[in-house]
């Protein structure tokens, strides 16, 4: 991936992160924390796959419908904020990696593993 495309991905992610809290659709404002984890703009700048992570309770079907409904507004605002030849069409995907990582951390914390003594003290 070239530098221009990486910079465009970062710019799109930044602008959409600023716009997402302004979406008034209650289907989008579910969960405790909504964040955009990654954006992948195609080389021709026509499409952008946006990975969204949500922590907390979520109805995935309604959330995706809300994002799809807000898509044209988000695209228009994105085009106004960025100076690109084409404003990419936004395709939203749920990114469950952060929620999965939090779940793994919870499982690890529940384990009852006794602490080992220092190796230096064991040799004495």
Q: Tell me: pLDDT of 77 over 90.
A: yes
- Does residue 121 fall inside a structural domain? no
Helix (H, G, I), strand (E, B) or coil at 28: coil
- Whether residue 54 contacts residue 99, with contact meaning beta carbons closer than 8 Å, is answered with yes
- Does residue 73 fall inside a structural domain? yes
User: How do residues 7-49 score in pLDDT, each as one tens digit?
Assistant: 999 999 999 999 998 998 888 887 778 889 999 999 998 999 9
**What is the pTM assigned to this prediction?**
0.76
Range of the domain at 53: 3-112
Q: If you count them, how many residues does the chain have?
A: 124
Residue 37 sits in a domain whose CATH number is: 3.30.300.20
pLDDT given at position 42: 93
- Whether residue 94 contacts residue 54, with contact meaning beta carbons closer than 8 Å, is answered with yes
pLDDT given at position 108: 86
For the chain, counts of helices (H) and of strands (E): 4, 3
User: How do residues 48-57 score in pLDDT, each as one tens digit?
Assistant: 999 998 877 7
* Interval 82-101 mean pLDDT: 86
- Does residue 124 fall inside a structural domain? no
- Does residue 119 fall inside a structural domain? no
> How far apart (Å, rounded) are the C-alpha atoms in residues 107 and 34?
23
Which 8-state DSSP code applies to residue 21? G
Q: What is the rounded average pLDDT for all residues in the chain?
A: 86
- Does residue 92 fall inside a structural domain? yes
Strand partners, 15: none
- Does residue 117 fall inside a structural domain? no
């Amino acid at each position: 991936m070239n530098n221009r495309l990486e910079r465009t991905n970062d710019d799109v992610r930044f602008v959409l992160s600023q716009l997402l809290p302004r979406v008034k659709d209650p289907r989008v404002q579910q969960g405790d924390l909504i964040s955009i984890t990654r954006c992948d703009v195609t080389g021709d700048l026509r499409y952008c796959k946006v990975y969204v992570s949500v922590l907390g309770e979520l109805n995935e079907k309604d959330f995706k419908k809300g994002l799809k409904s807000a898509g044209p507004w988000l695209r228009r605002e994105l085009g106004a904020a960025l100076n690109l030849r084409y404003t990419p069409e936004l395709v939203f995907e749920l990114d469950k990696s952060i929620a999965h990582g939090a779940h793994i951390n919870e499982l690890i914390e529940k384990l009852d593993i006794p602490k080992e003594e220092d190796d230096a003290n064991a040799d004495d």
